[in-house]
Amino acid sequence: MSVLYQQFFRNFVLRKKQEITNPKFHHLTDMVLPRESVMMYLPKTQEDIGPSTEEPLIGTYPDGVNIYSNSLYITPIGRTRPVPFNEKQSIQLYRKSHFKYNWARTLSNYLSRRQELLVNNIAMGPHRHRYVFTRFVQFERAYNQLASGIEAVKQMSKETTRHQYWRIELPPSIPDYRQLLVAVDHYKKAFKDGVYTTTDNQAVLPFKGYGSYWIMDWYLFLIGEKNYSLFNRLDKEEMDKLHIIFSHNGLSWVVNLGIVSQWMEELNDKHGNPTSMRVNAAKRFLLGFRALIAGGTLNETIEEKPHAAENVGLGTGTPEEERRSQEVNKESEEEPLDLDESEEITDQSVTMLDLFMGSKKADTESDDDQGGEDSGGADENNGEEWAAAVDDELLYNAETEGLGETKKVISVPRNPVS
C-alpha cells in the first residue's frame, strides 16, 4: 500500500541541516514512493529502453505502475546523426517482457490515478541518435542525458503538480577534490555568452574513469555558479517538486532540490553573492557522497596535529558525555514534523513550503538547548556545523599522486543507516 507524501517526507527526505554533517541513509528496499508520484527513468546503457522488473522503487511499488514512453532527447553539445528507430515495435517488445507494468499511452488518462505510480521513461529518445565519434563522446552523451532529464522534469511540471523523483547512482569513487577544482575552472572557460562551446580535456578527465560527469554540475549548482549548472535551469516551483535519490549498493540519500537550493541561497552575502560558507556546505555534500559509497561509514582523513579530531567533528568527551550526546541526537532524529495529525491532509493540499516550515519549527524547538544551530541557517554568527570550514584534505583520494605526507585514516560510524 502506497503512503502519503508527508509520511515519505518525514521518514526519508533530508529536512534538517544537521543531517548534512551527519547524513541518514536508507535502504532502497525499505522505501516506498508516496501516491501521486512521478518517477524519472534514464537509460543505464545504450541498449536500455526502460526500467527492469527489478528496478528499485519501480519494480517494488505496491500498486499499479504505468510506464510513459517519452521520446524526448535533446543534444545541446556533440554531433549526432538521426537513425531509424521503430519506437512502436520497441514498446511492444518491452511490454511482452515487462507485463507487470502498464503502458501509459497518454499522460492525461493516468495522472488521475492517484494510487498508481507514473514512470516518465526517457530511455527511448537516445535510440534516434547516433553520435559522431570523438574523444569526448562519453562526456557528450552524459551531458545530453542530464540535459534531457532536466528538460523532462520541466515538461512534466507543466502537466501535473505531482512530486517527481529521480534516482542517480553514485560511482564507485568520488574524484579527488583538487582535480574537481581544476576541472571546474576549465569547464567554466568553455562557456561563451552562457552557451557551452568546446570541451577541454582537463574539464572531463577526472570524471572519465568514474562515469560521474554529473558531479561537476551538482557541485556548480551547490556553490551558486548558476550560469554553468544544468540543475539551475529549473525554476523554484520545479525544484520544490523534485526529489533526487542518490544511491549506491542499495543505500540511498534523498534530498529535495528546493530545500537544498533555499539552504544554499541563505549562505550568500547581502548582495546575493556566494560566500565561503556556501562552498563549505557544498563540501559537506561531497563528504556525504563518500560516506554513502563507504556503505554508511564516514572515512575521514586527518593530519596528525593537535585538535584535528575536533576540527572534523569527532567526539572527544568522556564516555558519559558521548552517551548523553548520542541520546540527544537520537531524540532529535526521531522528532516528527510539527503537523496537526487531527486534520485530514491530502497529498495535493500539503505544499513543500508547508512541510519545510513545519520541519524548521520542529528543528528550532529540538535545538533550543544547542543554541538554535538549525533554526534557519541565515545567521552567519551561529557557527553552524553544516557550513563550518572543511579541511580540503578530507576530500583527497589516497591513490592520487602528490597527496603529500601520509595521513591517518579514521573510520567514524555515524549510525546513518535506517
pLDDT tens, 227-265? 999 999 999 999 999 999 999 999 999 999 999 999 999
CB 14 within 8 A of CB 20: yes
Q: Give the pLDDT confidence score for residue 211 in this predicted structure.
A: 75
Q: Give the pLDDT confidence score for residue 208 in this predicted structure.
A: 83
Query: DSSP for 148-192?
Result: HHHHHHHHHHHH---EEEEEEEPPSSPPPHHHHHHHHHHHHHTEE
CB 38 within 8 A of CB 110: no
Total number of domains in the chain: 1
**How far apart are alpha carbons 311 and 367 in whole angstroms?**
21
Sign of CA dihedral 144, 146, 152, 154: negative
Question: Would you say residue 73 lies in a domain?
Answer: no
Beta-strand ranges (E) seen in 273-407 are 297-302
Q: Give the pLDDT confidence score for residue 417 in this predicted structure.
A: 56
Question: What would the grid cell of residue 349 be?
Answer: 493540499
Question: Would you say residue 193 lies in a domain?
Answer: yes
- Which residues in the chain show pLDDT less than 70? 1, 297-383, 399-418
- Find the domain containing 257 and state its range: 5-36+162-413
CB 256 within 8 A of CB 240: yes
pTM of the complete model beyond 0.85? no
Query: DSSP for 210-221?
Result: TT-THHHHHHHH
Question: Would you say residue 398 lies in a domain?
Answer: yes
Question: Would you say residue 206 lies in a domain?
Answer: yes
Question: Would you say residue 60 lies in a domain?
Answer: no
Q: Give the pLDDT confidence score for residue 313 in this predicted structure.
A: 35
CB 406 within 8 A of CB 15: no
- The greatest distance separating any two alpha carbons of the chain, rounded to the nearest whole angstrom, comes to 69
With a CB cutoff of 8 Å and minimum separation 6, the contacts of 170 are 212, 246, 247, 248, 289, 292, 293
Question: Would you say residue 95 lies in a domain?
Answer: no
Q: Give the pLDDT confidence score for residue 186 in this predicted structure.
A: 95
Sign of CA dihedral 141, 149, 154, 195: negative
Among residues 274, 238, 268, the alpha carbon closest in space to that of 256 is found at: 238
Question: Would you say residue 100 lies in a domain?
Answer: no
Question: Would you say residue 93 lies in a domain?
Answer: no
CB 166 within 8 A of CB 117: no
